[in-house]
Amino acid sequence: MFPASRSRRLRRTEGLRRLARETTLSPKDLVLPVFVVEGANRREAVAALPGVERMSCDLLAARAAALKVGALLIFGVPEAGDKDADGRVAADPEGLVPRAVRAVKQAAPHLPVITDVCLCAWTRHGHCGLLDGAGAVANDPTLKALGAMAAAHAAAGADVVAPSAMMDGQVAAVRGALDQAGFAETAVLAYAAKFASVFYGPFRDAAHSAPQSGDRQAYQLDPANGRAALRDALLDEAEGADWLMVKPALPCLDILARLREATRLPLMAYQVSGEYAMLKRAAQAGAFAERPAVLEAVTAIKRAGADAVITYYAEEVARWIET
């Protein structure tokens, strides 16, 4: 008890604080999400995400060669004319994402590549799965499409595929498709606890993936439900997931901490586009200094239980913690 016990002793200097620090960040803990588009030497600013660009495969490969982060997460942004009702082009072995994977792997062979497996950007309607005759997302027919998409990415060299459609049984379907195609070593990152969040808004602008009608609340998690999130995550683990993800990150630190206690699988958390945009805009408005605010936010995500953090700040954070 005070005065014999004084917690401030270990906070007195930066050296003492560093020695007693429980949570640390490393570049290997960071995953950079990127948006790839058709063409060559093409880059497009994303208005809703200051500092983020869509870029063609050649520019992405050049960027990857210089990256000092743990992994890359690739999202394809197809041309409007390449979209159809069923997202068939998403499973094309010579499609946009497979070409991007091959280009990155050639430029940066040792950089792990993760690919998003979902139909939202590849369909005209913008939903994450196939639609039935009534316009509702049809769970079971979507599973085969997700499996084919994952196999195409694995054939191109993806190290990890990440089914994000929030269809029941999607992890088992993707795992089965990979194994059947001869890619038993390709890992599956499950978007296990993915909430129907308003914080995804800027991403939908970046990926041109907003639903043309309705919303995604019928298949993404209700933000009010914590037990349901844990149930979904543990079902994904039982279906063969190698990693589990919580998304969004900061609004769901409680879910992340509870899931950390419930599983021994490695966990990722996605600091999503809305979180990035809030930090960026607030810093630009002078509300706080950007660097310490971002480092505090990313450290909090790790402290809650994440083994890796997906963030649009990955390059900056890697640079900041190395200097």
Q: Does 194 qualify as catalytic in the annotation?
A: yes
- Contact status, residue 143 vs residue 166, Cβ threshold 8 Å: no
SS3 187: strand
**Catalytic position from the list 105, 247, 280, 302:** 247
Domain ranges of the chain: 24-322
What does pTM read for this prediction? 0.95
Exactly one of 83, 194, 280, 302 is catalytic; name it: 194
Do 80 and 121 meet the contact criterion of CB atoms below 8 Å apart? no
| Active-site annotation holds for 247 | yes
Classify 67 as helix, strand or coil: coil
What angle is formed at CA 111 by the lines to CA 157 and CA 240, rounded to 5 degrees? Answer: 60
Task: Going residue by residue through the chain, which has 323 residues, state the pLDDT in tens, using 9 for 90 and above.
Answer: 899 999 999 999 999 999 999 999 999 999 999 999 999 999 999 999 999 999 999 999 999 999 999 999 999 999 999 999 889 999 999 999 999 999 999 999 999 999 999 999 999 998 999 999 888 999 999 999 999 999 999 999 999 999 999 999 999 999 999 999 999 999 999 999 999 999 999 998 898 888 887 788 988 999 999 999 999 999 999 999 999 999 999 999 999 999 999 999 999 999 999 999 999 999 999 999 999 999 999 999 999 999 999 999 999 999 999 88
Domain 24-322 maps to which CATH number in 3.40.50.10420, 3.30.420.10, 3.20.20.70, 3.30.360.10? 3.20.20.70
CA angle 60/64/65 to nearest 5° reads: 125
